[in-house]
């Protein structure tokens, strides 16, 4: 096993980047992707990313990658089967962002000579460049995924100093967003808020009845309220809608996708979300618009955290305000606290 961090990037023509499977983590990988894209030594290289189905819509239009390969090494033979598929693509090097053994086995089976990743999950022997933990306190010390991935680049001599996340929408995704807003009754100039009651685990979800009460509160403040969710969270959105008096719009029923969400969130006045990838998408999409138009999107992000330490997902966006449950139980965050944070954000904005 080789622990040397030196890689002759000038000789790499086809670089594979294996992306994490969570939406938020994939967005937090964009600063590293941008660093690789900017590196002079990789100017002639093609950057290809291997990702789970669905993430291609998230990264489409961003201009950070030359190609996206969708797949998942699931099941007993998954790493061998996917490895054989990737082997045919002839990669010179691979950077593995997920910590899993299965991902390392897949890239090893693909015959990629330079395999770079953190030495975790007993996968050291499968890596050619197994890197140590970037946190002085070890693997359990909280570190933002942005910095975790950038540290991997820095160890390899990549200039990874810019930690701003960036997500751009493709032309097709912008059009889909326009159609969706039209269906939702949002005309140009109408101020709206997006609520995101879902999360990957039940304990990370602020109670649905409080999201419903917040929807009514924001509607009374003159905002049109849209409720977002992944396809699997449709029943949750439906339950929130049924508890309201103000008739919010169910985006899941209108066919929202990660792609159209990128174009909708920066236009919202307000996003209220649990600890999910939606907050990352809002921040990264607003950053991209700010870069392109020299215009600061006015979306305010209110993020509610329960059992998770926010340092693992820190994005340092001045648009964001965190509300963290003092006892780690998300249900202890009161509706009054979130409503007051929303009122404050709305009062500040132009």
- Per-residue pLDDT of 41-51, as tens digits, reads 999 999 999 99
137 exposed, middle or buried (CB, 10 Å; 0-12, 13-18, 19+)? exposed
pLDDT tens digits for range 244-287? 999 899 999 999 999 999 999 999 999 999 999 999 999 999 99
pLDDT tier for residue 6 given thresholds of 50, 70 and 90: confident
Q: Is 2 domain-assigned? A: no
Residue 78 per-residue DSSP state: H
Dihedral angle of Cα 14, 15, 20, 21, to the nearest 10 degrees: 0
Overall number of domains in the chain: 2
Q: Is 338 domain-assigned? A: yes
pLDDT at 296 over 80: no
Q: Which domain holds residue 180?
A: 171-348
CA 171 to chain centre: 20
Domain at 29, CATH number: 3.40.50.2000
Q: Are residues 210 and 339 in the same domain?
A: yes
Mean pLDDT of the region 216-230: 95
Q: Which residues, including other chains, have CB under 8 Å from residue 131's CB and lie 6 or more apart?
A: 3, 5, 116, 117, 118, 119, 152, 155
Q: Are residues 100 and 186 in the same domain?
A: no
**DSSP secondary structure letters along 147-189:** HHHHHHHHHTT-------------HHHHHHHHHHHHHTT--TT
Hey, what are 29's tokens? 């990988």
Contact 319, 302 (CB under 8 A): no
Q: Are residues 96 and 232 in the same domain?
A: no
Q: Are residues 188 and 150 in the same domain?
A: no
Q: Where are the beta strands (DSSP E) in the chain?
A: 14-18, 46-51, 67-70, 93-96, 114-118, 129-131, 192-196, 224-227, 249-250, 270-274, 300-305, 320-324
Q: Are residues 266 and 213 in the same domain?
A: yes
Q: Is the pTM of this model over 0.75?
A: yes
Q: Are residues 248 and 298 in the same domain?
A: yes
Q: Are residues 186 and 332 in the same domain?
A: yes
Phi/psi class of residue 12: alpha, beta or left (left: φ > 0; alpha: ψ in -120 to 50)? beta
Q: What is the rounded average pLDDT for all residues in the chain?
A: 93
Q: Are residues 192 and 117 in the same domain?
A: no
Q: Is 164 domain-assigned? A: no
Q: Is 227 domain-assigned? A: yes
């Amino acid at each position: 096993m080789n622990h040397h961090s030196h890689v002759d990037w000038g000789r790499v023509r086809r670089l594979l980047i294996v992306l994490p499977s969570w939406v938020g983590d994939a967005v937090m990988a964009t600063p590293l992707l941008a660093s690789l894209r900017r590196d002079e030594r990789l100017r002639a290289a093609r950057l290809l990313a291997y990702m789970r189905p669905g993430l291609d819509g998230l990264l489409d239009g961003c201009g950070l990658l030359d190609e996206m390969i969708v797949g998942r090494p699931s099941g007993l033979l998954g790493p061998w089967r996917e490895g054989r598929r990737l082997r045919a693509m002839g990669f010179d090097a691979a950077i593995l962002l997920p910590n899993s053994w299965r991902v390392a086995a897949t890239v090893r089976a693909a015959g990629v000579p330079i395999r770079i990743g953190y030495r975790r999950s007993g996968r050291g022997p499968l890596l050619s460049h197994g890197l140590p933990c970037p946190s002085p306190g070890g693997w359990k010390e909280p570190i933002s995924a942005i910095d975790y991935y950038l540290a991997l680049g820095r160890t390899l001599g990549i200039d990874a100093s810019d930690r701003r996340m960036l997500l751009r929408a493709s032309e097709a995704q912008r059009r889909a967003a326009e159609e969706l807003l039209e269906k939702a009754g949002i005309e140009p100039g109408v101020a709206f808020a997006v609520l995101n009651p879902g999360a990957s685990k039940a304990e990370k979800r602020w109670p649905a009845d409080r999201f419903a009460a917040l929807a009514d509160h924001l509607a009374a403040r003159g905002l049109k309220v849209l409720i977002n969710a992944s396809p699997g969270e449709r029943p949750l959105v439906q339950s929130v809608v049924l508890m309201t008096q103000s008739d919010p719009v169910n985006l899941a029923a209108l066919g929202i996708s990660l792609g159209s969400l990128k174009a909708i969130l920066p236009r919202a006045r307000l996003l209220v979300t649990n600890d999910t990838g939606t907050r990352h998408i809002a921040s990264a999409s607003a950053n991209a618009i700010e870069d392109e138009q020299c215009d600061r999107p006015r979306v305010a992000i209110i993020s509610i955290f329960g059992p998770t330490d926010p340092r693992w997902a820190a994005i340092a966006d001045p648009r964001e305000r965190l509300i963290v449950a003092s006892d780690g139980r998300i249900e202890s965050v009161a509706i009054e606290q979130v409503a007051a944070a929303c009122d404050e954000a709305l009062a500040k904005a132009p």
